Structure 1
Amino acid sequence: MTHEKQDDSAVRPDPGALDEQRAGDEIADLSARIAQANEDYHVKDAPVLSDADYDALKQRLLVLERAFPQLARPDSPSHRVGAAPAEGFGKVVHAQRMMSLENGFAETDVTDFVARVRSFLGLRDGDLAFTAEPKIDGLSLSLRYEDGFLVEAATRGDGTVGENVTANARTIADIPHRLSGAPAILEVRGEVYMSHADFQRLNATEGGRVFANPRNAAAGSLRQIDPDVTASRPLRFFAYGWGELSQALAETQMGAVERLAAFGFQTNPLTRLCHDVGQMLAVWAEIEQQRATLGYDIDGVVYKVNDLSYQTRLGYRSTTPRWALAHKFPAETAWTRLDRIDIQVGRTGALSPIARLEPVTVGGVVVSNATLHNEDYIAGRDSSGASIREGRDIREGDWVKIYRAGDVIPKIADVDLSRRSADSAPYSFPETCPQCGSDAIREPGDSVRRCTGGLICPAQAIEKLKHFVSRAAFDIEGLGAKQIEMFFADPILPIREPADIFTLAERDARNIARLKNREGFGARSVEKLFAAIEDKRRIPLERLIFALGIRHVGEVAAGILARHFGTWDALLAAVDAAAHEPAFAADDKDRRAALAGSPHWTELTTINGIGAVLVQSLVTTLTQPAERASIDRLIAQVQVIPATVRQIQQTPISGKTLVFTGTLERMTRAEAKARAEAMGAKVAGSVSAKTDLLVAGPGAGSKAAKAAGLGVTVIDEDEWLRIAGGS
């Protein structure tokens, strides 16, 4: 029953072998890849990364963030759930956040989960029950009932804000419009899905359109602008949880689910009550054996602490509850031939290898491409040169084992050396850019080779422009990826840099060959395009910063910079001042130490949530002459809207540093730490001059004495519980 977790961590060095620079670069790379995967899955309903690969990236990110906590980014995907809601729907702020789940992959993960729960609760012995239920592969939905009537339905969105799909949800037969005997306020949470049989019938009757899989079909059907379209789709709903309640449903998870069933909701009949790890694993094995015959997609089993009072005590991490675990199933596999390896160049110059495969069906989906990550992965070594996969490098012509979990680009899991041709040669990763011929280099410790061509590289320029017009950036309607590619190659009305977008109408007016007369265009479509461009001449500062595509600067970091500086001019002034520090021109090893004490550099690196790696990328990009000139031309065409400062809810310990010492008698140390962090405090392990508050139980010892000597406020457990709202 134990299965190997298939991820790409094997090609990444151990965190202990990394310095802060290399760790920061990898954290930024992982964050960007995970954020894009969230967008593809939750907003576009078109995932391009497998569940297994996604889980592997998140696990690696968590490992690095634990090893280098000072580099943990405020916009880290480890702190976020899903993705921002799409345009076209009203927004719903969830009364209680819709969380994600921690994932487990092997029996030891389940054992560790149960041990953590016992440790957190201080339960060495005694019965600790868990429910076990299938993990449905669908779309999360929250249903709000007031006085028994369905008043609102919302998708998960980013966990805090979702899409209002009330009219669409009312068309689903499994969702009651009215409840009898329910609490005055009841938010029912569950999963919208489509059965295999209904999915096949839909594909056969949808006018030639073929949905990739039942999950995509369910998500796309629920998120239709026209409720009549949703009503025509065979959607179903399983209830498994709840959000805001005016009155508790029961004292246990199982009892609450039974109460939901009594209200008329469909709940999963395979849900079981387990009293130890052995029973949990037995249910997992039983459900896995039935997986192919259930008639709907599942990708694992979810375990939840049954006692709801224990769930309350365990609480939540930033994105996941401590009282639940999703035990994933192994990914499906198949063998096929790798015909060739192609190299794609991204907007940051990264050379990404893609395996072109002989088409093969895996889990009912035909796949022909696989990600190869980087040159170390292809060569079968990690970045230090150590061999991995027992020397099984990947070569063109090899027979390879691929896996997938959902409709995704798969990953190569193994190579059949017995079928390798005698004249096979190792793949030679290019050291020049296949698009522009510039040198492609690897910085020390970096797993990615990057083109140095910058603005002269057409691949980078095109990808930067695509990013510039993307949803979270300028979001120009009618100017998508295909249009960018067309205009970039256009000899008459080229768009080679962002400023060109805003001069397009003016240049078109001066041309004899007008855009409206070209094939694929017309007077109305050109008019709408030019109007959409004009509409985006006023752009919020945070969107502008994100749109520039600066490496390591994601949406959240762009927002932090915008709110800190307020205006574009203020940000540029700080960047220019930092760039003029003499130490900025020094070699990398000397630069970091020298800049640490410089005032202008310190102003940037001490912004909460902005680290040295990001600042170095920001300053380097904005002060390169060609890049700066291009940005200046853009700024001349737009009006940048200053940022406003977001008001943050405060608690008595927000922003303070706490230390716990001695024995806490009414909650475990882990529970106390979690409560403090949830209230906005930082928890340290030792007392120092930066400590604001020491919570001392019996046996406090030297920490209490040191706190007294430093003038740190010391309180007992009773006072701590009063502050924390516990009892």
Structure 2
Amino acid sequence: MTKKTPTTLQAPVESLTNAQAKAELSWLATQLRAANKSYHGADAPDISDADYDHLKQRNKSIETAFPTLKRDDSPSEQIGAAPADGFGKIKHVVRMLSLGNAFSDDDVFDFDTRVRKYLGRENEIGLAYTAEPKIDGLSLSLRYENGHLFQAATRGDGEVGENVTANARTISDIPHQISGAPDVLEVRGEVYMSHEDFAELNARQSDAGAKTFANPRNAAAGSLRQLDASITRARPLRFFAYAWGDLSAPLAQTQSDAIARLQSFGFSTNPLTQICSDPAAMIAHYQKIEQQRATLGYDIDGVVYKVNDLGLQHRLGFRSTTPRWAIAHKFPAELAWTRLERIDIQVGRTGALSPVARLTPVTVGGVVVSNATLHNEDYIAGRDGDGQPIREGRDIRPGDWVQIYRAGDVIPKIKDVDLSRRAKDAPAFVFPDHCPECGSAAIREEGDAVRRCTGGMICPAQAIEKLRHFVSRGAFDIEGMGAKQVEQFYADGWVETPADIFTLRARFGDGLQQLKNRDGWGETSANKLFDAIDSKRQIALSRLIYSLGIRHVGDSSAGLLANHYGRWDAFETAMTQAQIGEGDAWDTLTSIDGIGAVMATSLITAMQQEAERASIDALVAQLEVQDAVAASSDSPVAGKIVVFTGTLEKMTRAEAKARAEALGAKVSGSVSAKTDILVAGPGAGSKAKKAADLGVQTMDEDDWLTLIGDA
């Protein structure tokens, strides 16, 4: 949504005033016009199908409730987008319309009721419909005259389309000549791309350094709408015929017979098209198609129902942009069923064993999904972190049919599993208790949902992930040394620990002969990398702490630690001497505001683990670690440990903390014997009592402001 999104957008339509409804219709017209241009004109949609459908429904609801406010440029009167510049224009003899949408079973029954009521056949039995997959591609109209392909046009805005005749002739599914057809025959259908061809095309595009496509629909549309037909010829496009436009003679008396006749002319028609006797049968076929969706090999986004009798279609006629005799029953935009091919275990930089679902590719929310997170072993087993059942206790096994969901940019997840389609002999998935990368024991600590490898730096997966983190933007951020280079150097045995990065020049010499011989590298680029590495030998204490990749320690907490300890040697000594859960060093560490027991335990464990500590010491020996910026020595609170409690009335707690730290104070979240000052506002409780018991200096907010000179 834009910054000018109406505040009424989520309000019930019936609650809107005339002014609010008018403003919202104006906004919706702008948004939908831009969406149509992106989707139909540029083949690059910038909102999801679900969001688009929501906006269309909202516009329709407001227009229904406020008919006098309907705009002359109403989106409900528009189809597609105007033809793009660069193509010739073709005016359709018979308009190419869009379809109304059904999003639920009730919508399908309502559609049938409307059809029967319009025809005066409410009480009759046996009104037949066809049901066919709704191909997610680009609409195309093919005009044949005397059996020869005369011209081809995109839908455009429904009235005028783009002349893509030369491009259409390159598609193998489109015959150039047909026999036995009416003198004038306009065949309509969908240009699409199969999943296999889409993957191969994207691989070729990537290898050539060219643009890759988000999904098969975009790839098909972009390929057909090329000014250079040779590009279209090189793209693997397909075509399904499902309708017709201008005719010099009728094809048949029913929709199903007309489709069969198109097939007899040599066109590909969808084999899943079926005649249904009532809404229940239509919905049953919809569910059957949805179950097969992942194995079709091409994208569909719903099922289209059409009245089978063409005479009844003629009687029903059209609304302004949609036929009364057809409707598209859409699949949920963010949901899809597919097969779980296998479960892989990935090892992260903290040793976490993360299960990943490898899926038969399926398009969900406009994106081709082939992987999904499985969270942890409990999730696979069908239980939550408290041992309670999820998915009614259904576990997940390789070979299962699973429902995938994806909303926005969220990582795809598995929502459910269909036990009725599970093989009877399918074994339960056994989560590994040893690391698949290094063979070390993988343990799960009490209270932790994740199992972790104990191999540390001997585990190649952890080593690579730690190195990738080490060179990331928030850490050392070495120009020319990104994740790709780290993986390459690790595979070659040149860099196994962070310290190895800083000894590259000494070990291999200026120019690094082995590196010079690699594609894309020469003596200049190699020396440029060495210089970039050397420029990072001076590093801020906070960046160094963050770069170590210690579990639970992010960039903000690294800053807290750096500000508190000030110097690397002070931090290193404190972590070496600390004992988990007890002692002065532990109390000091956990008294830092923002550092809890979990993070403190992780810090101490990492700094006292022999192999990891040796790696850290070797790194620090190559560096000049800059002390945290200290306040001027004349600050009255420099170096003092301050605790704020109660309600501050003249500034927020965040402001008070920032001001104290700027003056060199160390702000803690708890009172201890090391606390120098407690600033107590109204409502101070246990901290004030503890400070009094320990003899800690206590003052109110006004006294504190006087002390620091802000009164």
TM-score category by the smaller chain?
Answer: 0.3 to 0.5
TM-score normalised by L of structure 1: 0.46
**More RCO (CA 8 Å, sep 6+):** 1
Higher alpha-carbon Rg: 2
